[in-house]
Amino acid sequence: MPELRPIETVYRGYRFRSRLEARWAVFFDALGIPFEYEPEGYVLPDGTHYLPDFWLPGFEVFAEVKPVQFSWEEFKRCCQLPHSSLLLDGMPAHRFYFVLDPQRETDGVYPGERWEEDFFESYRSGDSADACLIGWSVYEKRLWRSYGATAEDCIETDEAKAAVNAARGARFEGGQRSP
């Protein structure tokens, strides 16, 4: 079976590596959230070269986009970035997204002491009961910690519905443009 590759897409002057990334850009625009696309690459502490997808300056957070849940390797790379990372897996939707905060102490555990493994398990299971890093509310245009919140706890506003619809409905004919 041939390997499926994402379609490069131009939106708002940026050349995105995939339509999914372009849809997230449409989503941010619809909510008035400023972003920079791939502004700076980093050499991570393990020596890996890494280029985060988005920088959201209003939140001082990276936003990483994947079509499915992050793998362990992808998750570990985000743990090594110098700022928090918002893990955007899949299409924009009304739900919580996991935020990794590399400087945060949790229950006496610091990064490098099973922190990554513990939170990877919480991320993969969708369990927010003890993963207080879940709960970035793009709908309220702020970061917040959930401590066990569910999607029902995130208020879905008309603005949020419109942003999700704009992102999901964006057409990039020929990989080049959006409405």
Task: Using DSSP bridges, classify how beta strands 84-89 and 61-66 pair: parallel, antiparallel or unpaired.
Answer: parallel
Question: Which of 3-12, 70-79, 116-125 bottoms out in mean pLDDT, i.e. has the lowest?
Answer: 116-125
Q: Which tops the pLDDT comparison, 20 or 2?
A: 20
Alpha-carbon span 173 to 179, nearest angstrom: 10
Closest by alpha carbon to 35, among 46, 43, 27?
Answer: 27
Distance between CA atoms of 84 and 53, rounded to whole angstroms? 13
Secondary structure element (H or E) that encloses residue 77, with its range: helix 72-79
What tens digit of pLDDT does each residue of 12-21 get? Answer: 999 999 999 9
